[in-house]
Amino acid sequence: MSFSMNAPAQGVAPGPESYTSLAKPLVLVVEDEAAIATMLRYNLEKSGFRVDEAADGQEAITRIAEAQPDLVLLDWMLPVMSGIEVCRQIRRRPATRELPVIMVTARTEDQDAVRGLNTGADDYITKPFNMDALLARIRALLRRSNNVPSKGRLSFHDIDMDLTSHRVQRNGRAVHLGPTEFRLLEFFLQHPRRVFAREELLDAVWGPDIHVEPRTVDVHIRRLRKSINQGDELDVVRTVRAAGYALDTELL
Ligand code: CA
């Protein structure tokens, strides 16, 4: 790729902490097909984003550490290191645990997409994709990961969410959540014990303009459960068959 390591940073320094609505978000495009990378760069820049590129998985890891993007657009099939492995590494490292990742897959098998989400991606899109749809998802994900209210605290049972520091604790222990799981838990904490259908959760957490499969919700609920319920702790996410989910301590 033609990315120059010496390119001067434009405007505010990149990185999730320093991102404000005034700064142009930095998107790392991880793509080994030059034509697709060029097309993505062109469209993203035209839409107000800054773009960094990596042509293989190893380069992606290096660019994430050096350039601290606000979001990663990650191709599934990559040389050197697969997109799945890149995503695993992003989630393993505390500094990038909450970095928004959209997986781009040429595979049409739903199983693979779900596998991508299970690996830690926040969203996925299948090639060939519609650029407007991709831009909508990028914006929604950035909104979710940066939309931190100026103050406030939400609590339920032994779960505590500090909206200022974006920290979640359960019984005094730190709980690490991805951006989607955080928004999901925030929404549940705002409406404890109320049952929400998958479609309602999609509208509230993903946004009404985002078209994702209702079972995407199941994937993120699974991930939320895995993070907040540890050991023999009570599962506070109640599944209501044929109805949806609720944050509740009474599980029946
Ligand atoms: Ca590829």
Q: How far, in Å, CA of 233 to CA of 251, rounded? A: 13
CA of 107 to the centre of ligand 1 (A): 11
CATH architecture for segment(s) 153-247: Orthogonal Bundle (1.10)
Burial of 122 (0-12, 13-18, 19+ CB in 10 A): buried
CA of 87 to the centre of ligand 1 (A): 15
Question: How confident is the model at residue 233, as a pLDDT?
Answer: 87
Question: How confident is the model at residue 34, as a pLDDT?
Answer: 95
Which is higher by pLDDT, 151 or 249? 249
| Maximum average pLDDT range among 2-16, 144-158, 168-182 | 168-182
CA of 149 to the centre of ligand 1 (A): 38
Q: Is the pTM of this model over 0.85?
A: no
Question: How confident is the model at residue 109, as a pLDDT?
Answer: 59
Q: What are the pLDDT digits (tens) for 158-167?
A: 888 988 788 9
| Residue 68 zone, left/alpha/beta (φ > 0; ψ -120 to 50; rest) | left
| Residue range 26-146, CATH number | 3.40.50.2300
Question: How confident is the model at residue 3, as a pLDDT?
Answer: 40
Going by pLDDT thresholds of 50, 70 and 90, the confidence category of residue 9 is: very low
CA of 78 to the centre of ligand 1 (A): 5
CA of 220 to the centre of ligand 1 (A): 25
Q: Which of 48-57, 108-117, 198-207 has the lowest mean pLDDT?
A: 108-117
Q: What are the pLDDT digits (tens) for 102-145?
A: 999 876 656 666 666 777 888 888 888 889 989 988 988 887 76
SS (H, E, C) 63-107: HHHHHCCCEEEEECCCCCCCHHHHHHHHHHCHHHCCCCEEEEECC
Question: How confident is the model at residue 107, as a pLDDT?
Answer: 63
Say how many C-beta atoms besides its own lie within 10 A of residue 45's C-beta: 13
Q: Where in the chain are all domains bearing CATH 3.40.50.2300?
A: 26-146
CA of 143 to the centre of ligand 1 (A): 27
Environment of ion ligand 1 (residues, CB < 5 A): 32, 75, 77
Q: Where in the chain are all domains bearing CATH 1.10.10.10?
A: 153-247
Q: How far, in Å, CA of 245 to CA of 239, rounded? A: 5
Strand partners, 30: 54, 74
Strand partners, 245: 196, 239
Say how many C-beta atoms besides its own lie within 10 A of residue 2's C-beta: 9
Q: Which of 2-6, 39-43, 121-125 has the lowest mean pLDDT?
A: 2-6
Q: How far, in Å, CA of 223 to CA of 201, rounded? A: 15
CA of 62 to the centre of ligand 1 (A): 18
Which is higher by pLDDT, 53 or 208? 53
Question: How confident is the model at residue 16, as a pLDDT?
Answer: 37
CA of 56 to the centre of ligand 1 (A): 9
pLDDT over 90 at 174, yes or no? yes
Give the pLDDT mean for 34-41.
Answer: 96
What's the mean per-residue pLDDT of the chain? 82
Q: What is the DSSP string of 177-237?
A: --HHHHHHHHHHHHSTT--B-HHHHIIIII-TT----HHHHHHHHHHHHHHH--TT----E
Question: How confident is the model at residue 252, as a pLDDT?
Answer: 54
Going by pLDDT thresholds of 50, 70 and 90, the confidence category of residue 18 is: very low
Question: How confident is the model at residue 75, as a pLDDT?
Answer: 93
Give the pLDDT mean for 36-51.
Answer: 94
CA of 138 to the centre of ligand 1 (A): 19
Going by pLDDT thresholds of 50, 70 and 90, the confidence category of residue 5 is: very low
CA of 117 to the centre of ligand 1 (A): 18
CA of 135 to the centre of ligand 1 (A): 20
